[in-house]
Structure 1
Amino acid sequence: MGRRVVPLTDKKVKSLKPAGKETIASDGKGLQLRIMPNGTKSWRFVYKSPATGKRSNMTLGKYPELSIANARKIAEGHRELVALDIDPKLHKQAEKEKTEAIHQHTLFNVSQQWMEQKKSEVTEDYAKDIWRSFELHVFPSLSSQPISMITAQSVIKTLKVVEAKGSLETLKRLSQRLNEVMIYAMHSGLIEANPISNILAAFKKPQKQHMKALEPQELPELMTTLAEASIKRSTRCLIKFQLHTMTRPNEAAGAKWSEFDLDNRVWTIPSERMKKRKEHRVPLTEEVIRLLSIMDSMKVNSEYVFPSIKDPKKPMHSQTANMALKRMGFGGRLVSHGLRSIASSTLNEAGHDYFLIEASLAHLIGSDTHRAYSRTDYLERRRELMDWWSTHIVNASSTKVPLAIVA
């Protein structure tokens, strides 16, 4: 028959004095008090591990911070786990890792990880726009929320603030971006399913708005106004350059001298500066080369064709053209991105090849399969189209009468 263990009392524990070595006082049922030579007293639970079949122990806490009563409660919980063939030490470690994972994988942290991956797919400006939208509308209320605890209701509540402001397009973009983050989390094994996949059903649908642009027959008005406008010469050249090359505002404003091959009359925009992350070549017309010559004559110590006036080490802001168009009286009628629309409408009405027009606009044409087999960008065939477009612009610059569009 085993020796009967007399449970400890608070008085007994307080009376225990340290010896020259570690001593043990048992409370029974696996609960022990260790008395160290320096006087420290701590509780531990001793048990037979269901995982290994060997004796194991785990520290519970120091006395008197952990009282006898609470130490017994903890030990009882561990005994219940052992009875269920669960090693309490392994269980505690698993719970700790689970808790740490919850606090580590917050919406903010997971969004950062997703953003690092997203940067390889979009331009730097677009990546900044995505992150800024999160900072303004999502992170103030949800940044510290564990990704596993994000619910449709919590996101809807956050985005209702954006809806109340009437910013429905922003709301739509935020929903799309948050869904991408959640899908990334799902594929990373952080969540089982995406709980916000259908949240747009809870909001008003934005009215589709096309980019503000002039009609093709209004091009002479634009060119006349541009010629007479009281704006900086470099800004005037930028607007003309963007119009002639049919490029996006940030692509034109960020043009670098190193991207131009004047001998072969081609401008190669690297993939990292393109919206679709695909290198784009632009045939250079006589008028574009003339604009480059003008900017070269004004050249400062900068790698950019259109350097910022305040800091030549940076390019002109992509919104510079927009602000100039607004000052010229085109507010509400035309934005700089709409210059591409004028080109597209004009060229299509004139009967030019659709594929050449879309290639000139750096649009992706056809299905993924079609693009996989068709790698050409029709550069040589686009030279004729771009020459026609440049000539059309020059003709529009010399008349205030709407131009008839003929092929």
Structure 2
Amino acid sequence: MPITEIKAVDILVPLRRQEARGNYETARRMRSSIGQVFRYAVATARADHDPTFALRDALITPKVQHMAALTNREDFARLLQVIWTYEAGSEITRSALKLMAMLYTRPGELRLAHWKEFDFEKRVWTLPEERMKMRRPHHKPLAEPVIEILRKLQEQTGNRVRVFPSLTGND
């Protein structure tokens, strides 16, 4: 079908399929991507209009889920106190909690960290692009307390690929 013959309803059908599966955000992103194609087509005289414009209010708006957050210093200070005095669990678990608080990283980023990503001399952790949300490598500076925690961890897990290896041994 030529791009000039595509109507809003033709685009709405696959978007509704995504919504029926509960993929509201996917449907919204699909409409956005299709809209980009049409805006380019309009700009290059391949189409007269963007039919996705008519769909901007036709899709289900996903419910926004606000994540829990500490928004004041006192609460954050209490959290840090709890983390630093945490006695249960293994030394590896306690180290992970401390590193999360010090590096402000996503849990998955820390959980999947490889020893080869850390350069103690340059004091930097380089997260590879394939693990980053924006698909670009990210460099996190390492403060001395972070390096101290990592050095202690290295004694326990340094012979493994990951800093926090799986308990089942499947790094």
Secondary structure in 2 matching 1:214: coil
Structure 1 residue 310 corresponds to structure 2 residue 162:
no
Q: CA deviation at 1:197?
A: 5.2
The residue number in structure 2 matching 1:286 is 144
Q: Does 1:151 align with 2:10?
A: yes
Provide the TM-score with structure 1 as the length reference.
Answer: 0.33
SS in 1 for 2:147: helix
Q: Deviations over 1:34-62 (max 9, x none)?
A: xxxxxxxxxxxxxxxxxxxxxxxxxxxxx
Q: Is 2:155 the partner of 1:297?
A: yes
Unaligned runs of 5+ in 2: 41-45
Q: Provide the C-alpha distance between the structure 1 equivalents of 2:119 and 2:77, rounded to a whole number of angstroms.
A: 31
Shift in CA distance, 159/283, structure 1 to aligned 2, threshold 3 Å: closer
Residues 251 and 197 (structure 1 numbering): CA distance in 2 closer, same or farther, change over 3 Å? farther
1:275 to 124, 133, 145: 133
Q: 1:238-260, CA deviations, whole angstroms, 9 ceiling, x for partnerless residues? A: 22212211223332222221122
* 1:251 alignment partner AA: E
1:223 maps to amino acid? L
The C-alpha deviation readout for 1:27-85, integer Å capped at 9, x for no partner, is xxxxxxxxxxxxxxxxxxxxxxxxxxxxxxxxxxxxxxxxxxxxxxxxxxxxxxxxxxx
Give the root-mean-square deviation of aligned CA atoms.
3.5
Identity of aligned residues (%): 28
Q: Does 1:177 align with 2:29?
A: yes
**Greater relative CO (CA pairs within 8 A, separation 6+):** 2
Gaps of 5+ in 1: 1-97, 99-147, 164-169, 314-407
Count of matched residue positions in the alignment of Structure 1 and Structure 2: 158
Flag the 1:224–1:288 CA change in 2: closer, same or farther, 3 A. Answer: same
- What TM-score comes out, normalization by structure 2 length? 0.68
Please tell me whether the aligned partners of residues 260 and 268 of structure 1 are also in contact (alpha carbons under 8 angstroms): yes
Task: Report which stretch shifted further, 154-163 or 242-251.
Answer: 154-163
Larger Rg: 1
Q: Please say if residues 179 and 194 of structure 1, whose CA atoms lie closer than 8 Å, have aligned partners that are also in contact.
A: no
Structure 2 residue 68 is matched with structure 1 residue 212: yes
The answer on 1:199 being equivalent to 2:55 is yes
Question: Match for residue 43 of structure 2?
Answer: none
Matches within 5 A, 1:35-114: none
SS of the residue corresponding to residue 282 of structure 1 reads strand
Relative distance call for 1:260 and 1:197 in structure 2 (3 A) is same
Matches within 5 A, 1:105-144: none
Separation in 1 of the partners of 2:92 and 2:134?
Answer: 28
* Per-residue deviation, 1:289: 0.9
Asked if the contact 1:267/1:282 (under 8 Å) is kept, the reply is: yes
